[in-house]
Chains A and B, each alone.
Chain A
């Protein structure tokens, strides 16, 4: 679908070209200059970046094109003004002082950030590795014929999805010592994340199984498969395939959840930013740099998710309004 839109867009200028364009082409020196190739490339990249919602409007006429040009210039001016205002605000309070930024080019600071990024990754990976099988188990329990098991799983999933992670973290932080249990800081952060995310993973798995056509189950039963055989050999392999992008998307959420280490003073990336900022009097710079790191890591993960989606080839399913990734 995407490719057909692209072709249409590419075909449009040719169809609507008037004398001016031909004249321009006539006067340009032979052989496409590198500038034009660069321009075409930039346009392609921009096209990929800003999505394909162009089907909402016709190819604009002369008046429409003029209006769009005016709006383009106006919006560029507004963005420039906003950027200028931001820079001025930063400069007026001495936050553009090179010393405050050069800090992040020094190896000790970079190493400190890398170590804390490693801690963030550790929290993410460890909680993902525990939460994923736990979620699968919960989904299996919920799909099992046993009403007691499935009720318990349903209750767990519904409650844990409706309780804020922060509340759970505080409960572990303040509640466990009260009953005489002492966990290391790392696990005090990981367990609440595991418990909430297992519920989310369970829902992802279950929706994956439920999205499969009923014919699959019926066919398996007709072939004499039992409930578990059907689940193990027919439904689960397909469900895992279909939900793989959603699972990777959930990993992004897990990574974001790990910032709550800030609350339990576990030294992950956000907490490191706080320490750096307070120590070097570069609060806003540290948070901005760390935000940038999160953006880079998460965009890489999201990119993996889209590639996975393309490779697993469920392109035939048009994403509905309900499939937007919730935070």
Chain B
């Protein structure tokens, strides 16, 4: 047990790092994903095609392949920046594809009548999208977004596999190598992940109930 009690800071820092990676990834992925979703439903064919191909390609590449490509491949063509941000970029690009699909599903869930009514009022495409469709679409994507966020947090552990060992899984491995108490160290890490997941799930349930559009 002393593996954890004597190193609360190591564990805490790991947890903090994991949350940092996840938060940065999710925010960046949300920005890229929204942009992709707008491209995906725009009337401009090259944009629509690009978004469609991007989503189906990136969704079929394993995250670890993307991470390896970014972390070990980008320096080969002269793009070197901090490991943390390299990892975050790769993850954000990966999750953006899933986010785009979630947003698109939300957009498709908005009844066509809403669009038609907005157009009948003389709104432009941007106005229709910005003040009618997207707000409604985002409301009914709370639950899928939450499961995406959970996936982002869980998969932030893959950062350890490409060298960001400061995060929770990496720290756990280091602690285990020091103390050789696998049950305690891995158990504690698992508890951390379960707690984070539960917290996200509960928050999403509350938000969903508050924001749900009654139809």
Contact = CB atoms under 8 A, between A and B. Distances in A.
A49 to B, nearest CB: 6
A53 B98 contact: no
Select the residue from A76, A79, A166, A322 with max chain B CB neighbours within 10 A: A166
A35 interface: no
B66 A291 contact: yes
A6 interface: no
B53 interface: yes
Given A46-B49, A170-B169, A256-B63, 4 more contacts: A166-B169, A167-B169, A284-B74, A284-B76
Interface of A: 46, 49-51, 53-58, 60, 64, 68, 71-72, 75-76, 79, 89-90, 92-93, 95, 158-159, 161-167, 170-171, 174-175, 178-179, 252, 255-257, 259-260, 262-263, 270, 273-274, 277, 283-284, 287-288, 290-291, 294-295, 297-299, 302, 319-327
A321 B215 CA distance: 15
Contacts of B72: 274, 277, 283-284, 287
Interface of B: 40-53, 56-57, 59-66, 68-69, 72-74, 76-79, 95, 98, 101-102, 104-109, 112, 115, 119, 125, 128-129, 133, 140-141, 143-144, 147-148, 150-151, 154-155, 157-158, 160-161, 169, 172-173, 176-177, 180, 182-183, 186, 189-190, 193-194, 196-198
Contact of A93 (B76, B107, B169): B76
Contact of A326 (B41, B125, B148): B148
A83 to B, nearest CB: 11
Contacts of B102: 321, 324
A75 B47 contact: yes
Given A72-B46, A321-B140, A256 B62 contact: yes
B197 A260 contact: no
A164 B193 contact: yes
Contacts of A255: 62
A3 B75 CA distance: 48
14 contacts: A50-B51, A56-B41, A68-B43, A71-B44, A75-B47, A167-B189, A175-B176, A257-B62, A270-B62, A294-B61, A302-B56, A320-B105, A321-B108, A327-B155
Contacts of A277: 72
Contacts of A327: 59, 63, 95, 98, 151, 155
Contact of A72 (B44, B53, B161, B180): B44
Given A46-B45, A164-B193, A320-B109, A53 B40 contact: yes
Contact of A287 (B53, B68, B189): B68
Contacts of B128: 56-57
A49 B53 contact: yes
A253 B72 CA distance: 24
A64 B42 CA distance: 12
Contacts of B148: 326
A322 B160 contact: no
Given A89-B77, A164-B154, A259-B65, A321 B172 contact: no
A167 B173 CA distance: 9
B182 A175 contact: yes
A291 B182 contact: no
Given A50-B49, A287-B65, A321-B109, A166 B157 contact: yes
B61 A326 contact: no
A167 B69 contact: no
Contacts of B143: 321-322
Contact of B160 (A166, A179, A274): A166
A-B CB proximity, top 9 nearest? A175-B182, A298-B60, A162-B197, A284-B73, A256-B62, A164-B157, A53-B41, A171-B186, A259-B62
Given A72-B45, A326-B148, A262 B64 contact: yes
A171 B193 CA distance: 14
B93 to A, nearest CB: 12
A76 B105 contact: no
B105 to A, nearest CB: 5
B68 A159 contact: no
Nearest to B18: A164
A171 B186 CA distance: 6
Contacts of A252: 60
Given A72-B45, A324-B102, A326-B144, A291 B76 contact: no
B165 to A, nearest CB: 11
Nearest to B139: A321
Given A49-B52, A50-B48, A167 B186 contact: yes
